[in-house]
Structure 1
Amino acid sequence: MELYILGSGTCVPTAERGPSGLALAFNSHLIFFDGGGGSLRQMARLNLDFRQIDYFCITHFHPDHVSDLVPFLFALNYTVDYTHTRPLHLIGPPGLKKFYDQLRGIFGSWIEPHTYDLFLHEGEAQALSFSDFTLTSLPMKHSAIAIGFRIDQGGRSLVYSGDTDYCANIIELGREANLLILECSFPDHRRKSGHLTPTLAGQIAREAACQRLLLTHFYPVFQGQNILAECRQEFSGEIILAADGMKIVI
């Protein structure tokens, strides 16, 4: 498994970090998690072909997590000298079908599948089995309806929280994961409801007994803060601070 960090920031624009976006590549699969603005362009910079995405996983519908969905669907139909035939699975929380229908109401046939099959999977607690991997989701604790995802494949596992506060479900989802990806929006002294801090993320990682912890979704208020020191108060394992363009092998 190879994980690519497309965006490690938030809705607040910075020169260093784009909004949330992750790409996971293994075997012949390319799984896209969220897709904030600029994620598709970052894929091109990393030599990842957006046409190979066959699973688009959305944790919640805040704009900084979904704004590249429309350009993605549009590009599948209108890339010159290309006909897209690869099936696409769109996976998300309750409200996904309504969200997609509302987008169709605005953009119409521009984003509707022309030459490929589209499958929508909606729900809080999902357990989906595909050809050579499983995808599990559980509800998270956020200001919007949100879910986290777990991928299990060939004895390897990756878990992505999306946006969440501390909750039992992210511990359950992240249990003994090879890589646990947690949002880390604010420093401990600036904690906001619905989000994690370094200490809370470390506590989750310790209680889940994950192998490695990747922190992402940093607001600019982290400038000058010692994220690792705060997180290590709770978790003694390997901690990685996400950066746009980073590649991690699992």
Structure 2
Amino acid sequence: MSVRELVVLGTASQVPTRHRNHNGYLLRWDGEGLLFDPGEGTQRQMLRAGVSAHDINRICVTHFHGDHSLGVAGVIQRINLDQVPHPVSAHYPKSGQRFFDRLRYATAYRETVKLKEVPVSADGVVASTAGYTLYAHKLSHPVESYGYRLVEPDGRRMLSERLAAHGIKGPDVGRLQRDGVLDGVTLDEVSEVRRGQRFAFVMDTRLCDGVYTLAEGCDMLVIESTFLDEDGQLAAEHGHLTAGQAGMVAQEAGVRHLVLTHFSQRYTDAAAEFERQARAAAGFDGEVTVARDLSRIPVPKRS
């Protein structure tokens, strides 16, 4: 049975708190795992969340600030220590190559796993598999930062009543799916488009075109909301979003499930207020989750 869920490993921003570790998010997508922004302490959070190094197929770093990347060294070493049987790809801004090199070889260890470096230098496709295409888009932050967007290809849903009306059944259904036509009946006549699911990961950034491009039509948007709206000036100065801005993006982009994260340490118990402001800014009426460390958030089922 395929699993599509977000495992939250950390939700703090620059400074961790007693209840919030530095960033870390594992997206389980069918048989693959994409680890986004492993900050300091990610290895331990993985243990607490029941996540294995074997679950990781890709490491995706948005930018090289410590709360988003200092855990890369430990994660890579753990992947090699556990002798993960499959190759692992690493995506990160090419401008930070020197930082990635330092993290990858921070200390001595025995390399047992093929790690493929795939640096990002422009908007567009960074990886493509049979199950999804992974895109990157540039964001607006004091250091170069990219967000990631995963898009599943559209499929077809066969309509049983139309198949029956044309007398198509058994092996003939497979032939029609493969060839597109059977005895004059086309695939379009007996099926409909099944829209592929979409997921986006947006971290440290001001509002910019890249945020909206990444979020467009997503079933799940994981987005930073470092500040509450009353601290909007601070957000703009430091290259971050507020809860209200995150909600506005979700509403305008047609997001189904909004996941807020990356909270400033100045807020000790403001989960309800983050959700309220996210909804109030533009009337967002989709699902909202204020992320907590070690929570598991299912990707919404197809609509």
Does the CA contact (< 8 Å) of 2:79 and 2:113 recur in 1? Answer: no
Correspondence 1:56 to 2:63: no
- 2:217/2:253 contact within 8 Å kept: yes
- Kept in 1: contact 2:72–2:104 (CA 8 A): no
Gaps of 5+ in 2: 154-195
- From 90, 112, 118, the counterpart of 1:115: 112
Change (3 A) 1:133 1:5: same
Is the 2:7–2:296 Cα contact (8 Å) retained in structure 1?
A: yes
Count of matched residue positions in the alignment of Structure 1 and Structure 2: 244
Alignment of 1:1-250 (within 5 A): 1-79=4-82, 83-103=83-103, 106-107=106-107, 109-110=108-109, 114-123=111-120, 124-127=122-125, 128-153=127-152, 155-191=196-232, 192-193=235-236, 194-225=239-270, 226-233=273-280, 234=282, 235-250=284-299
Distance 2:44 2:101 in 1: 25
- Structure 1 residues 217 and 105: CA distance shift in structure 2, 3 A: closer
Give me the whole-angstrom Cα distance separating, in 2, the residues matched to 1:177 and 1:57. Answer: 18
1:125 shift after superposition: 1.3
Segment of structure 1 superposing worse, 140-149 or 186-195: 186-195
TM-score, scaled to structure 2: 0.76
Q: Distance in 2 between matches of 1:189 and 1:4?
A: 30
Question: CA contact under 8 A between 1:184 and 1:196: conserved in structure 2?
Answer: yes
2:156 aligned partner: none
In structure 1, what is the Cα distance between the partners aligned to 2:144 and 2:36? 16
**Any idea what the Cα deviations from partners look like across 1:178-226, whole Å, max 9, x if unmatched?**
0011100011111222101111111111111111111000112233541
Aligned equivalents of 1:249 and 1:223: distance in 2? Answer: 26
Partner amino acid for 1:163? D
Q: Distance in 1 between matches of 2:218 and 2:260?
A: 14
CA contact (8 A) 1:85 1:117 kept: no
> Quick check: which has more Rg, 1 or 2?
2
How far residue 61 of structure 1 moved from its aligned partner, in angstroms, is 0.5
User: What CA distance in whole angstroms lies between the structure 1 residues aligned with 2:43 and 2:104?
Assistant: 20
CA contact (8 A) 1:94 1:145 kept: no
Q: Find the residue that maps to 1:220 and give its secondary structure.
A: coil
Structure 2 residue matching 1:13: 3-state secondary structure? coil
1:163-182 deviation digits (Å, cap 9, x = unpaired): 11111111111111000111
Which residue identity is paired with 1:121?
V
CA distance in 1, matches of 2:105, 2:115: 17
What is the deviation of 1:99? Answer: 2.4
Deviations 1:22-65 (A, max 9, x none): 00112221110010112221221221112331100000000001
Q: Percent identity over the alignment?
A: 29
Q: Shift of the alpha carbon at 1:105? A: 6.0
Distance 1:105 1:6, change over 3 A: closer
Alpha-carbon distance between aligned partners in 2 of 1:105 and 1:24, rounded to the nearest angstrom: 25
Change (3 A) 1:245 1:104: closer
- Give the secondary structure class of the aligned counterpart of 2:98: helix
Tell me, yes or no, if the aligned pair for 1:175 and 1:209 is still in contact at 8 Å: yes
Q: Distance in 2 between matches of 1:38 and 1:8?
A: 12
| Distance of 1:125 and 1:218 partners within structure 2 | 27
1:135 and 1:85 mapped to 2: Cα distance? Answer: 22
SS in 2 for 1:158: strand
